[in-house]
């Protein structure tokens, strides 16, 4: 993946440049630019720009602070804009078009959006012992029109966006090595737009759950709402992997969310969460200019190994 990564979250445009070394990655540049209030219009599946200039001008401003031009980059979007779902099928056609039609039909059964308006990206997951003969596919989907608009605005500046990734996949890519030696692990991501849980089973993605928030702060959610959702998630996990228990929980979020969420997660999964620290990222360089929880998905997009 390109070492250059941009991230848009509705209020800011962020940029990170990462270099891969023999032992670890290093952060060589980091920038943030405010987008201004009301730059995006909220919608049921993400947000759309109120007008292109609301992103065009901040992008030009940010690029003007860099030492060299950029030709290729990744773009990180909020989980509520670029969502994830797992679909299952006993058989999938080999042909690309026929396969995509089957996956679209499967996806349409579980989401309230028209698949004709969506852009899809797929990744086939490992087979599960509790799902013999079933193929599982992780689908990333978001509205095609806003993504086209993002790509066009970057293209105006000579930048090809070759990789669109949401915050959860970026964070999982950044932190996944911390879960390789556990059977069942989870990365919990708390953001201004909602919260997400990304589970891995024997090092492979297993289950993703996202709850978008409107008019609520993730730090002020009622305990009952969160614990009910976590208990329901445990039911899904049992259906997928039987009696396997969560062995490690990585908690990524603003400082004010760590204490209540640590208690809720410990109660639900029976293991104390590990709040994100710099050592979990295997990232060197000057990290003082960015919060760890905001840097993680940006770094993960650069380190991502998904083709």
Q: Percent of the chain scored above 70 by pLDDT? A: 98
**Which CATH number is 216's domain given?**
3.30.420.40
Give Cβ neighbours of residue 116 (< 8 Å, ≥ 6 apart).
none
Q: Which residues contact 145 (CB under 8 A, 6 or more apart)?
A: 48, 117
Task: Map residue 190 onto helix, strand or coil.
Answer: strand
pTM of the model: 0.94
pLDDT of residue 217: 84
| Number of domain units in the chain | 3
- What's the domain range around 94? 83-140
Q: What span, in angstroms and rounded, lies between the C-alpha atoms of 269 and 249? A: 9
Q: Are residues 61 and 163 in the same domain?
A: yes
| Same domain, yes or no: 122 and 36 | no
State residue 290's pLDDT score.
85
CB within 8 Å of 66: residues ≥ 6 apart? 15, 29, 31
For residues 209 and 195, the answer to whether their CB atoms sit within 8 Å is no
Tokens of 303: 């380190």
Digit-coded pLDDT (tens) for 26-52: 999 999 999 988 899 988 888 889 999
209-252: per-residue pLDDT in tens?
999 987 788 888 999 999 999 999 999 999 999 999 999 999 99
Beta partners for 47?
42
Are 19 and 66 found together in one domain? Answer: yes
Mean pLDDT, residues 72-82: 96
pLDDT of residue 307: 33
Q: Are residues 133 and 23 in the same domain?
A: no
Q: What is the pLDDT of residues 99-125, one digit of tens each?
A: 999 999 999 999 999 999 999 999 999
Q: Which residues contact 8 (CB under 8 A, 6 or more apart)?
A: 14, 35, 55, 75, 76, 77, 150
- Looking at the structure, tell me whether residues 20 and 160 fall in a common domain: yes
pLDDT tens-digit map of 175-217: 999 999 999 999 999 998 899 999 999 999 999 999 998 778 8
**Residue 234: inside a domain:** yes
Report the pLDDT value the prediction gives residue 305, as an integer from 0 to 100: 55
Which tokens is 215 given?
Answer: 């008019």
User: Max Cα separation, the chain?
Assistant: 54
Residue 184's closest CA among 233, 223, 135, 218?
A: 233
Same domain as 199, residue 60: no
Q: Which of 43, 134, 137, 129 is nearest to 85 (CA)?
A: 137
What are the strands of the beta sheet with 135-143, ordered from one edge? 83-89, 135-143, 118-124
Q: Quick check: is 304 in a domain?
A: no
Do 231 and 257 lie in a common domain? yes
Residue 305 lies in a domain: no
Confidence of residue 173 (pLDDT cuts 50, 70, 90): very high
């Amino acid at each position: 993946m390109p070492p250059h990564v941009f991230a848009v979250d509705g209020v800011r445009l962020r940029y990170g440049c990462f270099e891969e070394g023999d032992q670890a990655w290093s952060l060589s540049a980091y920038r943030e630019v405010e987008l201004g209030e009301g730059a995006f219009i909220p919608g049921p599946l993400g947000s759309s720009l109120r007008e292109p200039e609301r992103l065009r001008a901040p992008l030009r401003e940010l690029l003007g602070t860099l030492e060299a031009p950029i030709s290729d980059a990744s773009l990180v979007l909020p989980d509520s804009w670029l969502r994830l779902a797992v679909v299952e099928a006993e058989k999938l056609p080999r042909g690309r078009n026929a396969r995509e039609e089957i996956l679209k039909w499967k996806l349409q059964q579980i989401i309230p959006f028209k698949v004709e308006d969506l852009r899809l990206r797929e990744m086939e997951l490992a087979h599960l012992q509790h799902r013999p003969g079933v193929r599982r596919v992780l689908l990333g989907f978001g509205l095609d029109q806003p993504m086209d608009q993002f790509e066009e605005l970057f293209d105006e500046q000579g930048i090809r966006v070759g990789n669109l990734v949401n915050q959860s996949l970026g964070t999982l890519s950044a932190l996944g090595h911390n879960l390789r030696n556990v059977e069942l692990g989870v990365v919990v991501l708390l953001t201004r737009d909602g919260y997400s849980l990304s589970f891995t089973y024997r090092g492979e993605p297993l289950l993703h759950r996202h709850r978008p928030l409107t008019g609520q702060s993730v730090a002020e959610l009622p305990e009952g709402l969160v614990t009910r959702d976590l208990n329901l998630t445990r039911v899904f996990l049992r259906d997928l992997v039987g009696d396997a228990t969560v062995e490690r929980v990585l908690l990524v979020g603003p400082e004010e969310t760590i204490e209540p969420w640590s208690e809720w997660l410990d109660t639900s999964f029976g293991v104390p969460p590990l709040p994100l620290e710099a050592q979990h990222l295997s990232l060197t360089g000057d990290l003082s200019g960015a919060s760890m929880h905001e840097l993680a998905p940006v770094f993960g997009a650069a380190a991502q190994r998904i083709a």
